[in-house]
Amino acid sequence: MFIVISNGTASSVRSLLPSDAARQAVRAGQFAPTFRLQDLHGGNAAMVDLIGQRALVISFYRGVWCSFCDTVLEAMAGIDGQIQDLRATQVAIGPPPENEDQSRKLQALPMPVLVDHGLRVARAYGLAIRVLVPATYVIDRGGRIVLASIDTDYRNRLDPAQVLSALRCLRKRHT
Asked whether the CA dihedral 63, 103, 74, 141 is positive or negative, the reply is positive
pLDDT: which is higher, 32 or 1:
32
Q: How confident is the model at residue 175 (pLDDT cuts 50, 70, 90)?
A: low
Other Cβ atoms within 10 Å of 155 Cβ, number = 10
Residues whose CB is less than 8 angstroms from the CB of residue 84 and which lie 6 or more positions away in sequence, other chains included: none
Tell me how many domains the chain contains.
Answer: 1
Is the pLDDT at 152 greater than 80, yes or no?
A: no
CATH number of the CATH domain containing 165: 3.40.30.10
89-140: pLDDT as tens digits: 999 999 999 999 999 999 999 999 999 999 999 999 999 877 788 999 999 9
Q: How confident is the model at residue 21 (pLDDT cuts 50, 70, 90)?
A: low
Strand bridging mode 135-139 / 145-150: antiparallel
- What is the SS3 assignment for 171? helix
Q: What is the mean pLDDT of residues 17-25?
A: 60
Is the pLDDT at 9 greater than 80, yes or no?
A: no
At 20, give phi and psi (nearest 5°).
-65, -45
At 10, give phi and psi (nearest 5°).
-70, 125
Range(s) of the domain holding residue 145: 2-173
